[in-house]
Amino acid sequence: MLRGARAYLALVVLHFILIITISCRDIVWLVAHKLTILPSPFSAAAEKVEPIAAAALGDKLLPSNPFRRALLTYLHVAGIDRGYGYFAPNFPAGYKLVFELHYPDGRMEYELPGVNSGAAGLRVATLLDEIGRTRYDPLREYIIKTLAASVWREHPGVKTVRAVFGSLNLPSPAEFEHGKRESYDFLCAYDFSRAEEPAKVENP
Amino acid sequence: MAQWKERLRVFLFPPETDRWLGLLRIGLGLQVLFYALSLRADWNYLFAGPGEGLIGRALPEALLSTESPLIPRLGWLVMLTARTGFSEATALSIVWWVLLFAGCCLFIGFFSRASAILAWFVHLCAAESGGFISYGVDNFMTIGLFYLMLSPLPDRYSLDQLWRKLSPKDPQLIGFFRRVLQVHLCLIYFFGGLAKCLGTGWWDGSNLWRALIQPPFNLIAPEILIRLKYLFPLGGIVICLLEISYPIFIWDRRTRGIWLTCICMMHLAIGLTMGMYLFAFIMIVLNIAAFGPGLDFVWRDKLVRAAVS
């Protein structure tokens, strides 16, 4: 038998327990938030299970707790810090961010957050999903402001920038056949000016 | 209990050759190369410091620090390089070249272990500092490189082996790491499939339609896709069933070839129709390394025999 087999065995069991716990936590979260086809009694049960899964992964511990930090470090370095529900339970909504660039002479241009390659373009789409998903408004504003600053650097003559963020509505196959095309729902807008003033927020 | 322990031990430590490890190393080497080359034009723009680039790495790194200050990040490498007098932009470029170099070394098997550790570390730094711009491909690359650097390298196809004529590694240890990768893939597909089965959109095909027409994945014109609308429900159900049943059918020698082919075809289709080439490639590499070597196409042999008789 392989030398150190017991140690390998113990470590691998622990490793897979972590993977299973994280994956279960993600599934339970989906069920608890009524994002699945399961009926509401399942959601109620999942709501009870959710804190248990979170506690098992040290979520209830203080951020400075050494056990929590060690666990989180391991999850990140092993690439097992998140579950595998990609494009699940349903394909997520897409988002779009458009910048209106207002020049001092009254001119206006539109600009999208752009990159040079398709591979980086997929990453920008991920970033927009993140902005759309976050429920923490200051974080959303910070990210959009940072993106606006990157556009500003490309267009130094711009006086004000208005960032308009919206979600994408895709037609179903039947709707598409009847002529309906993709449309956008306005979610929020931010106005940024040259001076370091706080952004003016507009929500529907 | 003792019997179960023994069964587990037999399952986890099967004697294996290092063919799968060679495939994993070469595949991941190529993946690291493709990853680095695909981001070359945007590398500094994506991972710039505060006040520069697209979003910068300041916020993701600050958020990482709240989780744990020990999680690797690009800020460490930039700081280290900056100490020698290089600017931030030069430091980021050096990091990119290091990643490219590690990918090349991994591909040819030159200092395999050191290359695997270097590739894992530099990629992990980029993935973690990317934060909001990281997606599935980064996760799977971290998983693959993590297992690779721990596995008994070098393998027989590496330059290291040709040069240094090292003694062969313990077959059980080689088998153990293959098992770990195999079981991890089973968990990935099972939970991925389960999550998909819980959504209505995979049963009526709407998710497949949405996935193919939503920017930036819309490589095929919807006017062409609409002609295939009757296939979307079938496609959605097939994907769900293929993934959730992966842990069952991939172990049986009679069905392994079919499931492996179908899963690889699914990833190839994702890559070609949605432009997720890196994601498709890493998944195919992991699958082929884990379940490819020693594959018996029993169904193919049967078909050939039936045809001959």
Looking at the partner chain, which of A5, A31, A88 has a beta carbon nearest the beta carbon of B196? A88
Burial code (b: 16+ CB inside 10 Å, e: under 16) for B85-108 equals: eeebeebbbbbbebbbbbbbbbbb
Least Cα distance to A56 among A83, A12, A22, A79 occurs for A22
Question: Per the CB < 8 Å rule, is B210 touching A36?
Answer: no
Q: Are residues A100 and A196 in the same domain?
A: yes
Q: Rounded distance, CA B58 to CA B70, Å?
A: 16
Range(s) of the domain holding residue A44: 5-77
Q: Are residues A44 and A103 in the same domain?
A: no
Angle between helices B19-38 and B171-197 (to 10 degrees): 50
Cβ of B55 within 8 Å of Cβ of A150? The answer is yes
Looking at the domain assignment, is residue A34 inside a domain? yes
Chain B residues with CB-CB distance to A23 below 8 A: 187, 191
pLDDT tops 90 at residue A116:
no
**pTM score of the predicted model:** 0.93
Q: Cβ distance A192 to A141 under 8 Å?
A: no
pLDDT attached to residue A176: 94
**What does the pLDDT look like over B118-143, one tens digit per residue?**
999 999 999 999 989 999 999 999 99
Same domain assignment for residues A38 and A107? no
Question: Can you read off the two tokens belonging to residue A44?
Answer: 């109620």
Cα B49 to Cα A146: distance, rounded to the nearest angstrom: 12
Is the CB of residue B213 less than 8 Å away from at least one CB of chain A?
Answer: yes
Domain residue spans in chain B?
14-169, 180-309
Amino acid at B76: W
Q: Give all strands of the β-sheet with A95-102 in edge-to-edge order.
A: A108-111, A95-102, A160-169, A183-193, A200-202
Based on the domain organization, do A63 and A16 belong to the same domain?
A: yes
Within this chain, do residues A106 and A190 fall inside the same structural domain, yes or no? Answer: yes
Count how many domains chain A has: 2
In a domain, A90, yes or no: no
Q: Residues A100, A185: one domain? A: yes
Q: Could you tell me if the ipTM is greater than 0.85?
A: yes
Average pLDDT, whole number, for chain A?
90
Tell me the average pLDDT across B254-276: 96
Instruction: State whether A52 and A136 are in the same domain.
Output: no
CB-based contact B183 A16, cutoff 8 Å? yes
Closest chain B residue by Cα to residue A168: B214
CA distance A203 to chain B (A): 23
Chain A's closest residue to B172, CA to CA, is A2
Give chain B's count of helices (H) and strands (E).
17, 0
Preferred mutation among A122, A145, A154 to probe B, highest tally of B CBs within 10 A:
A122
Q: How many Cα atoms within 13 Å fall on the side-chain side of residue A97?
A: 25
Q: Do B33 and B100 contact (CB within 8 A), yes or no?
A: yes
pLDDT at B2 over 60: yes
